[in-house]
Amino acid sequence: MEAANGPRNEALAESDLPNMSSQPPAVSVRSLTRVFEPRVRRGLRGLLPRFRAEPAEPKRIVAVNDLDLEIAPGHCFGLLGPNGAGKTTTVKMLATLLEPTSGSASVAGFDVVRSPRQVRRNIGVLFAGERGMYWRLSGRENLELFGTLSFMPRERLRERIEAAAHRFGLEDRMDDLVETYSTGMKQRLNLARATLHDPPVLLLDEPTAALDPVAAREARHLIRQIAEAGTAILLTTHNLYEAEQICDRVGIIQSGSLVAQGRPADLIRQAGEMPRLDLLLRGDLGTAKALIGSDGLWWGEVNRDGEFAVAVRAPDGWRSSDALTSTLVSQGIVVEEARLREPDLEDAYIAITGSRIERPFIER
Ligand SMILES: Nc1ncnc2c1ncn2[C@@H]1O[C@H](COP(=O)(O)OP(=O)(O)O)[C@@H](O)[C@H]1O
Ligand SMILES: [Mg+2]
């Protein structure tokens, strides 16, 4: 398995990069920056006697700082980052809801500042926590309303609604009121609404944040299908598993700046992450420490049964594991449990951002 990984990934890395020579990028962002200046509070200040200290001066916030990225048609780009990192601000600028302070962005070939109307016609948008639908109308009525508001011709709208009902698995419920829908169905209807006019670019701000695991999985599957059909997708999330599952490329955003971007597999490699072996051992701790040496990443306490856990660097996967466990056994250490864990995007994220989150060890 290890042999298959190296060269194949290199080849993929080449061919998988957005090919800008044959197709212009669907989304192109250059040095995009947004600063929120402190608001001057006028109001009653100065008129009232001062009983308390003035509130702290509001600060200038650089919400998005010098962002560069490109998304090719049919690709899904995941913008990953903690709360307050600048994800929603980025989406709002691309959706023409906020003007950039500096830098530029184009969507489907149109500049977000100079041609906002054309941009809006070419995007579908879904914001986190947005209600987005009239709950007292049926699914069909909602789609008819949004389609009419975006000036879709009647015949085309009818066709698109039929196609959306089928694609998003809502055929049987299209004439029921949205308030009777499950959360997952509401989100599927939201996706149907965002893609109704078949936009070449879809902007999804935390599309699965409010969903239960089953609904989130459905939504991920649908989002992947939409990308496969040729739509360029910008998706924000703080769910690393989600990003690794559905995004072709991801960018890690921290305090407004993109600190890394690439294919999930490349980021994992760049971060220097390697497989880790979790062992549960019994025997003499000193002997085990001497044998494992500096490959030991983390040591647990010895419990009442004389067992202790250790996490070990395993650069060659199972080969490292086999070599180490036979050495341990030959020196009288009992290997109660051995688990190899491949590095994932979460490991890379933690390494890149310097966050300190300990992963659960062997759970007992
Ligand atoms: N309208 C606004 N006025 C002032 N500050 C804002 C405004 N919108 C967002 N911010 C600030 O910009 C930063 C980025 O916010 P946001 O883009 O919403 O982050 P995220 O979506 O990654 O959680 C945060 O510090 C937030 O408080
Ligand atoms: Mg947000």
Minimal-distance CA residue to ligand 1 atom 17: 86
Residues at CB less than 6 angstroms from ligand 1: 36, 61, 63, 81, 83-89
Q: What's the pLDDT score for residue 248?
A: 96
Strand extents, DSSP E, 300-362: 307-313, 334-341
Q: Report d(CA 169, CA 167) in Å as an integer.
A: 6
pLDDT one-digit tens code per residue, 153-191: 999 999 999 999 999 999 999 999 999 999 899 999 999
How remote is the CA of residue 343 from the centroid of ligand 2, in Å?
27
Q: Which ligand approaches the C-alpha of residue 62 most closely?
A: 1
Mean pLDDT, the chain, integer? 87
Give me the domains of the chain, ranges plus CATH numbers.
Answer: 23-36+59-270 (3.40.50.300), 276-342 (3.30.70)
Q: Which residues pair with residue 76 across a beta bridge?
A: 233
Closest CA to 106 of 232, 217, 207, 13: 232
* 76-80 and 249-254 strand pairing: parallel
Q: Report d(CA 154, CA 200) in Å as an integer.
A: 21
Which residues does 176 contact at the CB level (< 8 Å), separation at least 6?
138, 139
Ligand 1 pocket test, candidate residues 32, 39, 61, most atoms within 8 A of CB: 61
Cα distances (Å, whole numbers) of residue 93 to 27, 33, 72, 125, 254? 12, 9, 18, 12, 17
Closest CA to 314 of 337, 340, 287: 340
Q: Report d(CA 347, CA 276) in Å as an integer.
A: 11
Cα distances (Å, whole numbers) of residue 206 to 151, 209, 275, 284, 305? 28, 5, 30, 49, 46
Q: Report d(CA 288, CA 143) in Å as an integer.
A: 65
Q: Is the pLDDT of residue 26 over 50?
A: yes
Q: Report d(CA 163, CA 196) in Å as an integer.
A: 9
pLDDT one-digit tens code per residue, 53-81: 666 667 899 999 999 999 999 999 999 99
3-state SS class at 320:
helix
Backbone angles phi, psi at 18, to 5 degrees: -55, 130
Share of the chain above pLDDT 90, in %: 68
Q: Report the sign of the C-alpha dihedral through residues 6, 11, 12, 16, in that order.
A: positive
* Torsion, CA 90, CA 220, CA 17, CA 122, rounded to 10: -50
Minimal-distance CA residue to ligand 1 atom 16: 86
Backbone angles phi, psi at 261, to 5 degrees: -150, 150
Q: What's the pLDDT score for residue 217?
A: 93
Q: Which residues pair with residue 32 across a beta bridge?
A: 67
Strand extents, DSSP E, 96-226: 102-107, 110-111, 123-126, 201-205
Q: Which ligand approaches the C-alpha of residue 65 most closely?
A: 1
Minimal-distance CA residue to ligand 1 atom 25: 84
Q: Report d(CA 324, CA 326) in Å as an integer.
A: 6
Q: Which ligand approaches the C-alpha of residue 87 most closely?
A: 1
How many angstroms separate the first and last alpha carbons of the chain?
29
How remote is the CA of residue 233 from the centroid of ligand 1, in Å?
21
Residues in the chain: 364
Minimal-distance CA residue to ligand 1 atom 6: 36
Amino acid code (one letter) for 201? V
Q: What's the pLDDT score for residue 234?
A: 98
Q: Report the sign of the C-alpha dihedral through residues 124, 75, 222, 64, in that order.
A: negative
pLDDT one-digit tens code per residue, 297-321: 889 999 999 999 999 999 898 999 9
Q: Report d(CA 67, CA 82) in Å as an integer.
A: 16
Q: Is the pLDDT of residue 357 over 90?
A: no
How remote is the CA of residue 88 from the centroid of ligand 2, in Å?
4
Comparing 16 with 86, the larger pLDDT belongs to: 86
Q: Report d(CA 261, CA 85) in Å as an integer.
A: 15
